[in-house]
Structure 1
Amino acid sequence: MPRLMPDTRPQRVLAASNFVYTIGSGLHLTAGVLYFTEAVHLPAARVGLGLGVAGLLALVLGVTVGHLADRHGARGIYAATLGVQALATAGFVLVDGFWPFVLAVCAAAAAKAAGTAARSPLIRHYGGERPQEFRAYLRAVTNVGISLGAVLAGWVVQVGTLTAYQLMVVGNAIAFVVSAVILFPLPPVAPVPAADGPRWIALRDRPYLLLTVLDGIMAIQFKVLTVAIPLWIVGATTAPHWLISVTMLTGTVLVVAFQVRAGRNVTSPAAGARAYRRAGAAFLVACSLISLSAGAPAWAAAALLVVAVVIHTVGELWHSAAGFEVSFALAPPHATGQYLGVFGLGAGLAEAFGPGLLIALCITWGRPGWYVVGAMFALTGLAAPAVVRRIGSPSATGRRAGTAPDNGRRRRSPCPRTTGLGH
């Protein structure tokens, strides 16, 4: 289990803000898709399309806001994104058709992506000697909050009325507001002056961009638990609907217990690449078990789904640990927000195309689609070590961000513990 409280007051402030934020996120992650399909009565395919459009918009803002956080101070920018996300989420209660839905989810997704990038300099600044470990701790806290939100969402799904779903949406928006208010005691982080050279150096760093693409493909796995499994349970199995909350809680409890531990041996980009490979194999097994739950008796379907979620979460632990390491270990201190904004493009691609892809393959096509998705994850994991080896070659190092390897702005070390770089 991770330690209960961080070491410093700024870390505790960030953790508290993150905890409140993720209670609201747990509500939405567990029942957000069902709100639009069951309460607003939008077709699942159109919900997937709208979420895809929102994800594409989020791609644009992540890098830009990350750069603003580097240059103008991360705390204020991050708090502002939380306020925008609260307003956009509250707007869900006004959704009565496809285009209002697209407008609301675009605003919410853009603010979420911007907030993720803006928070990164805060994690690096206040994360101690090894910010990767503090980032893993925050993810454990995230899953505590999500588990509490999932319990409340379980009640919403069981009641199934429009009022219950609208209360869920309002509670989500309030959580974002409170999360922003908690940040005010946090000491501000001074803006970091830009280094000489191109302004958008992260977008010129082709090896880092390649890692971003790989991580983005694998990041579609996060939508398996929040989009595909709820729709699969409701539409393709005889399992009880309350199992939606059980699957969410199972995953979050495992992350709380083991995320920090999973990252302790992932202390170099090469170790991160191996973790990607293990994650892909775990996702393949989990997707295969989910497919087998269709047509099974209720008890057997429930058992298969719970086992699948456990295996999937093990893969998620490895995937997250790998992403923490490679993304931060390879990002220069003067451009943390920009680089993490670029790495967030991968997650943005998953947000944009993941829901629609999973709905098309796993829900519309059915059982064969789960095997295709599992194979996609496995092949992505197998490709990661080769990409990391390419980045580590002398010729690739000389091409990083279009600069010479000895320009003094970017140093590489085999082990991030000696680089001074973190998550």
Structure 2
Amino acid sequence: MRDIHEVLDNRAVTTLFQPLVDISSGRVLGYEALSRGPAGSPWESPAALFAAARQVGRETELDWICRARAYEAALAANLDPGLTWFVNMEPAASRTPCPADLAPVVERAHRRLRVVTEMTERAIAGDPSGLLAASADCRAAGWGVALDDVGADPMSLALMPFVHPEVVKLDMQMLRAPGDPHTARVVAAVAAYAESSGAVVLAEGIETEEHLAVARTMGATVGQGWLFGRPAPLPAAAAPALTLPFIAPPRHATGTPFGIVAGRRPLTRATKAQLMPMSRHLEALVGDGGEPSVLLACFQEARHFTPATARRFRRFATSSPLVAALGAGLSDEPVPGVRGACLGDADVLRGEWNVIVVGPHRAAALVAHDLGDSGPDPERRFDFAITHDRALVVEAARSLLGWLAPARVPELIAG
């Protein structure tokens, strides 16, 4: 292969598979698909392959190629239909159509395979609306979603509820530092999520019996690593598989935060001046030095996103995985590190003032609807509700993610 274009044009990607094993019985539940470029080429490793494709603007096409090759190999192996196939995906690929030559195998996979699509927390913060669209597509096909590398970044824990994964994959470094306070925080947050949702906890990087013992103490019921098998072609035959259970999908978030919460909580009427202390209190939860939390806020108009507010949000963004400000006249990045969205004149969010905070162990939302008063700004009246119900707060937060465009990335020069 002469260059990355030739690799992509020829679909020159191969797939290896690593088994996923039920820890208690040792039986195989499924396999993770691991893509490789042409052997012996500069693009053999997946990191080099994707970096090269990204540089020439063909990363989403490569993502489709890798998934299609994985599905093709799984279909050809004709193994137990109860096996679950773990396949990585970049949510940005959901914004681009499947290449025509790959569409037939993708369609067959939808009909015949049981797939869990793996995503990372980086994808959530970078493209929230793309993540929701990709997750919805997976679940429409009857497939599941996994959140990968949980614990590698402390901020991933706050983003876990937005993915609502069927499987939480603990980063392999968790097994190698079981006594680290960070590991304890990750394990506690994952355990809380798994208990409330029914999700499966999977430990990656199990290479020794000691790692396996640690994985058990962390609540993992599924393991992956060299102790069970290295990446390799699929076997010609396999013992009957255990079937990985899928949990119920998250409640579909439709409407606006105020509409969602007001439909299930009583409303109170107050002035803007009376609501300001509550709004500031919720904001302060993000910057209190505790757990990293997501902060989403609707300001109606840019003039309400004051210089003082901008300074606070910029500070919050240094320790939060996602801080967003939505309002008429706001740019895609109103201050460094803060995601923005400009609301149109007829946008339903123009009438709402919302402050939503979601962390690994806490959740809170203030949702308010402007009654349209004309007088002094502090005396404007709102109908509002405050809730700490985690499921309700997350549903309200998810409804806002669709307004956020993908994060801007530096322009790359094609080679």
Q: TM-score, normalised by structure 2?
A: 0.29
User: Greater RCO between the two (CA within 8 Å, min separation 6)?
Assistant: 1
Structure possessing the higher radius of gyration over alpha carbons: 2
Q: TM-score, normalised by structure 1?
A: 0.28
Which structure features the higher share of helix residues?
1
